[in-house]
A and B are shown apart, each in its own frame.
Chain A
Amino acid sequence: MDTATRQVRRAGHLIDLSPREYAMLEYLMRHPNQVLTRTQIGEHVWNFDFYNESNVVDVYIGYLRRKIDTGSDYSLIQTIRGVGYRISEDENQA
């Protein structure tokens, strides 16, 4: 992830993300191996107009995951059931 050009690559391919998806991914990546709750993600990415809608965060994560996992054999973003999401740098943890 290049925060200056806001470009995201995985294994060399460029991934096209909307600003909100980018913000979400950046937030997850800045807290590697740390579980972030839906509320934390929501408040960070949506700022003031987030109405505690965990559904929306889930759908975003699902959509984002499909975008960044294309052509990879493991999922970068892990769901921690009942808590939230975590991004893991370590492939073995996946």
Chain B
Amino acid sequence: MKIRHNYWHKRIPIRMRLALWYLLSFGAILLIFASFLQSRIRKGLEKEADESLKLAATRIIENMADDNGKLVLADDEALAGMENDYSVYILAPDQKTVWDHFGVERALFLNPGDKPGFFTVSNRGSKNWEKHENWRVYSQPVSEGATSGWLQVMHIYDQNNLIRVVRGHLVFAVPLGMILGGIGGIFLASRALRPIDEVTQTAQRITTRDLHQRLNYDGPNDEVGRLALTFDQMLDRLQAGFERERRFTGDAAHELRTPLTALKGQIGVTLSQPRTPAEYVETLHNLEQQVDRLVRLSGDLLFMARLDYCIQQRQIEPIVLGDWLAALEDQIRPLAEAKGIILTSQIQPALTVKGNMDLLIRLFLNLLDNAIKYTPDGGAVTIEAHQADNQVLVVISDTGPGIAADQIPHLFERFYRVENDRARHHHSMGGAGLGLAIAQEIARLHGGQIMVDSVVGQGSTFTVQLPK
């Protein structure tokens, strides 16, 4: 589990967080847009003013004449359309005015210096100008024949007024846009999260008693669709697990109850009338055998129940098969000898498997026990091990009665017993039906499997496939 950080923003519900992020990005876009708009308007106005100043200057230069060493405007027609808001100066090289035209009374003479080009002057420091009044000025050196000087054209420049108006609108428009954006953000977040709410509500209705219900989310395969699908798949696994567990518990209880009932019956019969000590001893011997079987069964049940947990806890180590199978063989040999069964092994040298030794001992002892149990007296059990591709195959063959083909698929089921099981007649030998289930489970936990091959009347072959 992750450590929970108490950052303030993690405590805001996701709906509000989404809406806030939406609002923030929307506001940022609005602000960028507003400043872009403002700067485009400013640039556009400036360009327009500059073009008209340049045009005026060109017209004046075309109509300029040299009047005894002074530059003057020869034809007043050049000033057509420049009556208002324009001021024109022609200056001598020493900056003295030699000719001027005022479109407005209050226009001021400006010293252009020797810098040609455009500039803006504002009204600051002059009583003659109106508040917020700006002038755009264009200066350029001019000459007519031998006479040279400066031309300066000025125009009232009300760019800032327009921008102020635009800005005034934006001051209202941007917050209004943000409010609308915020409402939109909340709406969008709610829309986006509604399917999750639906999934949550359905999930709340599903309890352990009601595991067969599914979300069955009817929507596109998007984030929510995948979440719902994952949830359904998890429920499938949970349901299968619960059902397996329930079946297992039921089967286990049944398996324990039957022999216990039989025990109780025998005790009752024995106690119903006085018996000789010899009879008591015989009964106790019988009971002991059955109790032994119950002890084995409960041990198997415990082992099986803990198997999944065990593999994570136990270490995996390389096992040298030759020596290890020989040790197993030693273990099983007395059982084989008691029945006159010939036990032989043929193990490819230098073969190793990676696995948990405790569990693998269980696996092979179960298989070898079975092989000896089902092989008639005087038969043969062989152990053979070799490598095939990346796997190690350990083959245990017996000369027992064999297993019918229709029973093979059930062989590894818990509590399954082959019908007409002769071994069951001997209580001391009859297994609980868990041996093969445990063996298969161990092989599976090691990433391998057990395969069965059998011919009725000739014998069975169990092949354990394990990763190298």
Contacts and interface: CB of A to CB of B under 8 A. Distances in A.
B142 interface: no
Interface in B326-352: 326-328, 330-331
B361 A55 contact: yes
A23 B328 CA distance: 20
B310 A55 contact: no
A51 B323 contact: no
Given A62-B326, A62-B328, A62-B330, A56 B361 contact: yes
Given A46-B358, A51-B303, A59-B328, 6 more contacts: A51-B299, A52-B299, A53-B299, A56-B358, A58-B330, A61-B327
Contacts of B302: 51
Interface residues of A, number: 19
Interface string A16-57: 001110000000000000000000000000100101110110
B451 to A, nearest CB: 23
Interface of B: 299, 302-303, 306, 310, 313, 315, 317, 323-324, 326-328, 330-331, 357-358, 361-362, 365
A61 B330 CA distance: 11
Contact of A66 (B299, B317, B327): B327
A46 B357 CA distance: 12
A49 B299 contact: no
A63 B324 contact: yes
Given A18-B315, A51-B302, A51-B303, A59 B361 contact: yes
A19 B318 CA distance: 12
B299 A59 contact: no
A49 B326 contact: no
CB-CB nearest 5 A-B residue pairs: A62-B327, A66-B323, A63-B327, A18-B317, A59-B361
Contacts of A59: 324, 327-328, 331, 361, 365
A74 interface: no
B303 A60 contact: no
A46 B365 CA distance: 19
A67 interface: yes
Contacts of B317: 18
Contacts of A61: 327
A59 B306 CA distance: 21
A67 B323 CA distance: 8
A89 B7 CA distance: 67
Contacts of A46: 358
